[in-house]
Structure 1
Amino acid sequence: MSDEHLILAGLLVLLMVFAGRVLADRLRIPDAIILVALGAAISFLPGLDSIHISPEIILLVFLPPLIYNAAFFSSPRDMRAEARPIIALAVVTTLVTAFAIAGVIWLVLPNTGWPAAIALGAAVAPTDAVASSAVLKRIGAPKRVLTLLEGESLINDGVALTLFTLAVTAMSTPLSVSDGVVELVKVVAGGLLFGALVAAVVAWLSRRFQDGNAQLVLSLMTPFVAYVPAEIMGFSGVLSAVVAGFYLGTRGEGMLPPKVRVTGQTIWRGLVMLLESILFVLLGLQLHEVFGDVAGLPVPTLVFGAVAVLGTAIAIRLAWEVLAPRVGRLLPRRMQPPATSTRMQIVIGWSGMRGAISLAIALSLPTTLNGEPFTDRNVLLYFAAVVVLGTLVGQGMTLPLVLRGLGLEGGEDTRREYAVAEEAMGRAALSRLDELVGEGLVDEQTAKPHRDVLKFKVREARAVLDATEESRARIGKRVRGGVFVRHETGRAQREALNRLYREGEIGHETFQAMRRQLDLTEPSRPEK
């Protein structure tokens, strides 16, 4: 394919990203499903069926920033409080699922060796929290559910990729148990140490210069600096990126000026959204080739194998969520994980969608083994695609129904936390304003408008905190009314600013500076 055709194909993928997100928003369907469907649809266009996406490119370009971003914005306090269930989900469930699926593959394809079966199990074992989190946040799931899923996603990719690497190595070079343990320790320990080293160096550099643009460039470079060299040295790039992101997110934000943080968060939010969306479109593009390569295989094998592998992937997670807490009660009290309601266990168990990363890992299966074609590769890729599609569509489409049926929608905890923060911040600002007036640093005429605004915000927050179940709708209207006022007054300011610029009364530099001030003060609320 020529360079011009590649550019056109890239533009078409971006167009599908735009169309998919618009459709998903209007249809209230998880955007991952729409994006995969659009990618599969355009794969039938002339010329696009010849596009082959290198899995190495997907793993090296997409994975580092996605993992780093998730770690950077994670909550260390919440993660620490939920450490035991998160580790159990990310490590134990991933490994059990991988080996269970390997057993199914061995039964369906008895001539496939155990290393290849384990490699496929490792590829489809880790869940992708992107699709499930998008659904859960929109509906307003309990914060603890999101914490567990997002914490799990920080670790399970590293566990799966480590197991996958060991399995692929064993496919061509048999490994003893001792060799496997040594390799595992090297991969894990090396990734953790290298990530800590990268984080320390980046933190040191960020304190040495104040140029905001340079700091943003360093922020964008960090995930690749943590991931790529670690992989080259044989360490876990995933763990390295997680450690770097977690350290810099919890310790390093104070190194950046507020305006740089605002700009950086905006850039990262857009970048992550784009990368995730492109991944799902690329997944759809690959399905045409994957399903075409197994067209000549026996239909019973394909159907039974697909149902068995998909059912195992779903059942293992659900069984773990239901049974593990009950087994945990047999442990000493200090070792027991925090109690989780049965309703939350079901939601977490049903939120086990797999994403494009699973198919990218599966695509890394070798095409040849010891110089001979690896004939089972196509059918293994087919099973991986079935798990990804089956969980995305089956669980992604029904997750809102499960959440509503169990009565876990709402998002009241988040709204109350916003109100607590706004009230405390407003009262602190009012107290400081009174001190300034008392010290004679600010006159009352200057302080009054600021005091009125702060008192209004405190009243709004207190209204939410004092609301009863019966009056919540009435109070909600009053709170939204306050936000509405700020939106409308801001819109009037923007119209005046635009008019001044159109009429030539202010220059472009002044126009941009004033518009940025309006952008930074635009009111925001959590999704309801």
Structure 2
Amino acid sequence: MEEDRLLIVFLVVAVVVLLARALSRRLQAPDAILLVLFGMAAGFVPGLPHVVVPPELVLLGFLPPLVYHAAFFTAPREARADAVPIVALAFGLTAVSTVAVAGTVHALLPEVGWAAALAFGAAVAPTDAVAATAVLQRLGAPARLVTILEGESLINDGVALTIFGLAAESLGTGFTLSHGAARLAQYAAGGVVYGLVTGIVIRRVRRSIQDPISQIIVSLVTPYLAYIPAENFGASGVLATVTAGFFIGTHGEGVLQPASRMVGNTFWRVLTFLLESALFVLLGLEMRQLLHEPGGHTWTGVALVSLAVAGVLVGVRLVWQLGNGPLARLLPGGRRSQEGLGWRQRAVIGFSGLRGAISLAIALSLPAAVGAERGLLVLLTALVVLITLVGQAPLLPVLLRRLGLIESDRRREEAMVARKAGLQAALARLDELAERDEVDEQTAEAFRQMLEVRLDRVRYFLEDEDRDDARPPNSQHVRSELVRAQRGKLSSLYRKGRIGAGTLREISRELDFEDPVVIRKTRA
């Protein structure tokens, strides 16, 4: 029965995800690598039902929340500072990679038409920064490299999916240059405008909602409200979703209450992990049939084509990254944006172009109009993702060490500086409350001792020699005021560029667990 098949598939996904998570912690390897390997291996377990993933399921079920999540959690100040290298990678490199892969596939597989080859090129062109940034952050690579990779990954998803949509549309209608340019303008501009309108409306709606659960429901519906109508209007649903997510995420001050933020962040982390994991496993289950019928081609031929495509992607990216410095300096603000990006940093960025869940999602959404070669192109995409994840990710630590780009203590020191400033702000606020008799001296002294102990510990890690000696029923009001003072100082440090978005989020989460108002609302 159909219900039994769905239950079996669900159980397989759950088991694979749990195994991958357990081993990734032991091996210190990115989850994506193990999910790819286990997902593909799961497809060969005897007795499992044959799985065919409908393209509509991928487009509607997986893509909107994945791209929305990436856009929402973009670090705006850092992305703006590195706008030139991000835009050069996201727009220029994505377009060049799409054309280069399409040309390679068309040359090696002449039976694949240009429209289908371009659609495939768009599928494998966007990068997935999750695995690469996990390695970079774990080793303490410069935060700027992580910011550039994350910013590129966000924008190139929209660029690649726009190209993919036009290529898929031309499969049934043909393609002319003038028609393609007109549709591109309509597709992109319409998506951005509609996404901006959606973001403005949703932001106003969320301002009036205080309940954390209701906030989560609205956030879950938002990507679909942006994606589906935009597609029906003939615009880019992905660009609409990215625009809405970016607008809400960068204009969130006053929209999300701390309780909503804490619960919402946890919910979205789990949701995106499950969606990405399910994509890998579903592809693995579908690959069993694809491997038996590789489009009438020999396995040797399929392997050679996948290696050729992966080689083109890596080679084009390295050449682009190492050679576009003079061109980037000609752009507005380009000369300043290139400061600090020497050949070593460029080499790491160039070698960090791993592919992942978005490529799988795009490939699985290839329409039936592609014809008999659809299964082959899906298989090639899976192999390219596997090659880049398994082949490149393990070499990133070696490259970072050889190039001397590991800064393991910088992030910890930045976090300690932020904690010190926040605790000092809380102590100052406590003194103000005590002077105005809003808190009795006994309660104030208890909080003062608690904050001084924490501050001494932070100063110890910072090796701050200019330390003052620690001064020797709780009031929830006082506790909330102290947390609020620390939040204000953190926001000020971020606006001034003293700390990064990652540090801001990390310490904000810590303060969420200290705020009695947050705890009470979360438990409710």
| 1:338-487 to 2 correspondences below 5 Å | 338-339=338-339, 340-368=341-369, 374-466=371-463
- Match of 1:409, as an amino acid? I
Contact 1:358 1:384 in 2 (8 A): yes
Deviation at 1:338, TM superposition (A): 2.7
Q: 2:514 is matched with which residue? A: 521
Check if 1:264 corresponds to 2:264. yes
User: What runs of 5+ residues in structure 1 fail to find an aligned partner?
Assistant: 469-516, 523-528
SS in 2 for 1:166: helix
CA contact (8 A) 1:351 1:395 kept: yes
**How far 1:302 sits from its partner (Å)?**
2.8
Identity of paired residues, percent? 47
CA gap of 1:253–1:132, structure 2 versus 1, over 3 A, is same
The residue number in structure 2 matching 1:151 is 151
Distance apart, 1:300 and its partner CA: 5.4
Gap change, CA 1:322 and 1:272, over 3 Å in 2? same
Of residues 28-37 and 209-218 in structure 1, the stretch that sits farther from structure 2 once superposed is: 209-218
Structure 1 distance, partners of 2:175, 2:77, is 40
Distance verdict in 2 for CA 1:81–1:205, change over 3 Å: same
Amino acid of the structure 2 residue aligned with 1:379 = L
- Contact kept? 1:127, 1:352, Cα under 8 Å: yes
Alignment partners' CA distance in 2, 1:213 and 1:363: 32
Distance in 1 (alpha carbons) for counterparts of 2:64 and 2:331:
39
Q: Work out the CA distance in 1 between the residues paired with 2:282 and 2:216.
A: 28
Shift of 1:135: 2.0
Is the contact between residue 322 and residue 342 of structure 1 (CA under 8 Å) also seen in structure 2? Answer: yes
Looking at structure 2, the residues matched to 428 and 299 of structure 1 have their Cα atoms a distance apart, in angstroms, of: 65
Rounded to whole Å, the distance in 2 between the matches of 1:311 and 1:162 is: 24
Comparing 354-363 and 189-198, the one that deviates more = 354-363
Question: Do 1:314 and 1:352's aligned partners in 2 also have CA atoms closer than 8 Å?
Answer: yes
CA distance change for structure 1 residues 253 and 281 in 2, over 3 Å: closer, same or farther?
farther
Tell me, in whole angstroms, the C-alpha distance in 2 between the residues paired with 1:366 and 1:133: 32
Secondary structure, in 3 states, of the residue corresponding to 1:48? coil
Paired with 1:192 and 1:392, the residues of 2 have a C-alpha distance of 31
Instruction: Give the Cα–Cα distance (whole angstroms) in 1 for the partners of residues 29 and 212 of structure 2.
Output: 38
Per-residue CA distance 1:225-262 (angstroms, 9 max, x = gap): 11222122221121111111111112124222221221
Q: Following TM superposition, by how much is the alpha carbon of 1:296 offset from its aligned partner in structure 2, in angstroms? A: 4.2
The more displaced of 269-278 and 345-354 is 269-278
Runs of 4+ in 1 over 6 A off after TM superposition: none
Distance 1:283 1:396, change over 3 A: farther
Shift of 1:358: 1.2
Change (3 A) 1:349 1:454: same
* C-alpha contact (below 8 Å) 1:82/1:148 kept by paired residues: yes
Instruction: Report deviation, 1:26.
Output: 0.7
Q: Does 1:3 align with 2:10?
A: no
Residue 496 of structure 2 corresponds to which residue in structure 1? none
2:301 maps to a residue whose letter is T
Label 1:303 to 1:431 Cα distance change in 2 as closer, same or farther (>3 A).
Answer: closer
- Cα separation, partners in 2 of 1:82 and 1:119, compared to 1, 3 Å: same
In structure 2, relative to structure 1, the CA distance for the partners of 1:214 and 1:137 (3 Å cut) is: same
1:40-439 superposed matches below 5 A? 40-294=40-294, 296-298=296-298, 301-329=301-329, 331=330, 334-336=333-335, 337-339=337-339, 340-368=341-369, 374-439=371-436
Aligned-partner Cα distance in 1 for 2:168–2:432: 67
Aligned equivalents of 1:422, 1:518: Cα separation in 2: 10
CA–CA distance in structure 2, aligned partners of residues 403 and 285 of structure 1: 35
- Partners in 1 of 2:360 and 2:511 — Cα distance? 43
State the SS of the aligned residue for 2:372.
coil
Q: How large is the RMSD of aligned CA atoms in angstroms? A: 2.3
Q: Deviations over 1:450-491 (max 9, x none)?
A: 1122222223333333479xxxxxxxxxxxxxxxxxxxxxxx
Greater mean alpha carbon deviation, residues 226-235 or residues 306-315: 226-235
10 and 186 in structure 1: CA distance in 2 versus 1, 3 angstrom threshold: same
Q: 1:519 to 1:210 in 2, by over 3 A?
A: closer
**Greater alpha carbon shift after TM alignment, 217-226 vs 357-366:** 357-366
Q: Residues 115 and 295 (structure 1 numbering): CA distance in 2 closer, same or farther, change over 3 Å?
A: closer
**Aligned equivalents of 1:381, 1:333: Cα separation in 2:** 40
For residue 322 of structure 1, report the CA deviation from its aligned partner.
0.9
Number of corresponding residues: 469
- Once residues 29 and 212 of structure 1 are traced to their aligned partners in structure 2, the CA distance between those partners, rounded to angstroms, is 33
3-state SS of paired residue (1:123): helix
How far off is 1:419 after superposition? 1.5
One-letter code aligned to 1:384 = T
Distance 1:332 1:245, change over 3 A: closer
Question: What is the CA deviation profile of residues 367-415 of structure 1, one whole-angstrom value per residue up to 9, with x for unaligned ones?
Answer: 346xxxx233333333322211110110122222222332323443321
SS of 2:384's equivalent? helix
Cα distance change on mapping 1:300 and 1:12 into 2, 3 Å:
closer
**Which segments of 5 or more consecutive residues in structure 2 lack a partner in the other structure?**
466-509, 516-524
Taking structure 2 as the reference length, the TM-score comes to: 0.84
Could you tell me how far 1:78 is from its partner in structure 2? Answer: 0.7
Q: Contact 1:33/1:393 (CA < 8 Å) preserved in 2?
A: yes
Structure 1 equivalent of residue 29 of structure 2: 29
Q: Residues 84 and 331 of structure 2 are in contact (CA less than 8 Å); yes or no, is this contact kept in structure 1?
A: no
Q: Write the distance in 2 (CA, Å) between the matches of 1:192 and 1:221.
A: 18
* Cα distance, 1:136 vs structure 2: 2.0
Q: What is the letter of the counterpart of residue 78 of structure 1?
A: E
Q: Secondary structure at the match of 1:190?
A: helix
Match of 1:486? none
**8 Å CA contact retained: 2:128, 2:153:** yes
Q: Judging changes above 3 Å, is the alpha-carbon distance between structure 1 residues 461 and 307 closer, same or farther for their aligned structure 2 residues?
A: same
**2-structure distance, mates of 1:55, 1:203:** 31
Could you tell me which amino acid in structure 2 is paired with residue 96 of structure 1?
Answer: V
Q: Secondary structure at the match of 1:50?
A: coil
The Cα shift of 1:147 comes to 0.6
